[in-house]
A = this chain, B = another copy of it.
Amino acid sequence: MSNLLNSTLSVINVGLSHFADSLDAQGIPTARVKWSPPAGGDPVLARFLRSGLQSIAQKVEEANARAFKHIINAEPYWVGIKRARDVVPGMEPNVILHSGPPISWDRMAPVQQKGILGAVQHEKLAEDEAGALRLVESGAISVRSAMDMGVAGAGAGIVSPSMVVNVCRERNTGKEAYCVPFEGRVGLGVWGVYNPEVEATLHRIETVLGPAIDKALAASDGIPVRNIIAQGLQMNDDTHTRQTAEGYILVSEIVPLLLQADLSNAILQECVDLFVSSERWFHPLGIASALSVLKGIKGMEYCTLLCTMCGNAVDYGIQVSCLGDRWFTSPSPYLTGMYLSPKWSQKDAVPWMGDSCIVEAYGLGAFSGAAAPAVIRLRGGSYQDGIQQSEEMKQITTGVNYNYPIPLLGFSGPPTGIDILKVGMTGITPLAHGGIISHQGGQIGAGVVRLPFECFRDAIHGVSERYGLQA
């Protein structure tokens, strides 16, 4: 057994025994951490966590250690940019995706509804919004959760068959995940906005720029995303709200490939402009990479780590490794943070919407708060607050990812591998960084969200059912 596995197990044992010995005494690491009642104050859950789990505890620990090892050793690469219909399994001509857990049309947030109607028009299945609505209501359009299709939908998460997606592949498993390219401040995929300008941008990337970049990538082994993230976390990026350094590094990686791809100078200039004109081109690559990694632990018996976390502006949903595709949902929470204009406030914002927080399940974003003082500062915090935030998340994770050394953590890595049992024990739920999105679509701020406890409680009961344990 490797040293890594040993040390991971010992960390877990400490957590479990400490909990069993002193449940009521369990407090908070420092005065600055928001206090949360252990087991969310739920006595049934507390009893289950204290004693009901004993019969599978060893198997859980081993499975979680194995999953953690997979996560930190994973090697995601950006390998292509393709039409969704050509790479996403099951992406039939009438399928349109949205972010978050599945939701019925009548409960769906207007911003996602508008995005889906826009995508129907983009697919030329309808000529206007009214026609698109008729198709959706008739059932001719199959509206699906992106995550259920193996796609990460950032923001509104709108993906239709003709749209291009970045393809990221995790080398150790070969598993792929997908996320639409960054569209700027206006766009269909992330913001659910559809108009002639958006259509023109989509058309250009689908027919010219996407194929050009894909050609450049195809002639290479792909671009190593882990290496870029490892550098970015030392350069003030959290890889969720900020990927400024990662975007610059990406330029240095992609330009030499583009220059070798036999493209015209005009197309070269247009492709390069795409990358250098935005700080956030790397964002969907981080998202798709995180999902490609976490697909590798989905369905792992006895593993209690999160493999999916996402929202659709109405429901927030999680999936747990050992429970496969089963969703556990709570009402989607609101972000707190800074609005881009004083005219905006929470009443203008939708609750958490998007699959981008899959990066948190991979140890990035809020879990790497110590890496990014610039992000913490957006909501008035200091670098010490960022360190504190990463330290808090350590209490609900399996270990630290030493492949991602963070200077302010003494070059130790971010807390990684969210264990729903530790969430249950401590009552501390994960944090996620992210953009604040308006009801109309479009970013109006940036901040942080604390996930609801209830979906974790339900997921723990799900584990209990799955293994026939007594609650």
Instruction: Give the interface of A toward B (CB within 8 A).
Output: 231, 234-236, 244-245, 248-249, 251-252, 255-256, 259-260, 265, 268-269, 272-273, 275-276, 373-374, 377, 382-383, 407-408, 410-411
Would you list the 3 A-B pairs with minimal beta carbon distance, nearest first?
Answer: A373-B407, A235-B235, A248-B248
Query: Once the chains bind, are B236 and A252 in contact (CB under 8 Å)?
Result: no
Residues on B with C-beta less than 8 A from A265 are: 259
Residues on B with C-beta less than 8 A from A382 are: 410
Report A381 CB to chain B, min CB distance, Å: 11
17 contacts across the A-B interface (CB closer than 8 A) = A234-B374, A235-B235, A235-B236, A235-B245, A245-B248, A248-B248, A251-B255, A252-B275, A256-B269, A256-B273, A256-B276, A259-B265, A259-B269, A259-B272, A260-B269, A374-B407, A383-B408
Report A220 CB to chain B, min CB distance, Å: 14
Chain B: CB-nearest residue to A386: B407
Report A230 CB to chain B, min CB distance, Å: 12
Residues on B with C-beta less than 8 A from A235 are: 235-236, 244-245
Residues on B with C-beta less than 8 A from A231 are: 244
Q: How far is the CA of A269 from the CA of B258 in the complex (A)?
A: 10
Query: Once the chains bind, are A268 and B276 in contact (CB under 8 Å)?
Result: no
Q: How far is the CA of A252 from the CA of B408 in the complex (A)?
A: 27
Residues on B with C-beta less than 8 A from A408 are: 373, 383
Residue in A236, A255, A269 whose Cβ sees the most chain B Cβ within 10 Å: A255
Chain B: CB-nearest residue to A260: B269
Residues on B with C-beta less than 8 A from A269 are: 256, 259-260
Report A126 CB to chain B, min CB distance, Å: 39
Residues on B with C-beta less than 8 A from A276 are: 252, 255-256
Q: How far is the CA of A256 from the CA of B259 in the complex (A)?
A: 12
Query: Once the chains bind, are B377 and A236 in contact (CB under 8 Å)?
Result: no
Q: How far is the CA of A265 from the CA of B268 in the complex (A)?
A: 11
Residues on B with C-beta less than 8 A from A275 are: 252
Residues on B with C-beta less than 8 A from A234 are: 236, 374
Q: How far is the CA of A241 from the CA of B251 in the complex (A)?
A: 23
Residues on B with C-beta less than 8 A from A244 are: 231, 235
Q: How far is the CA of A259 from the CA of B271 in the complex (A)?
A: 11
Chain B: CB-nearest residue to A248: B248
Q: How far is the CA of A259 from the CA of B249 in the complex (A)?
A: 19
Residues on B with C-beta less than 8 A from A410 are: 382
Report A370 CB to chain B, min CB distance, Å: 10
Given contacts A234-B374, A236-B234, A407-B374, contact A272 B245 (CB under 8 A): no
Besides A234-B236, A259-B272, 4 other CB < 8 A contacts?
A248-B248, A252-B276, A256-B272, A259-B268
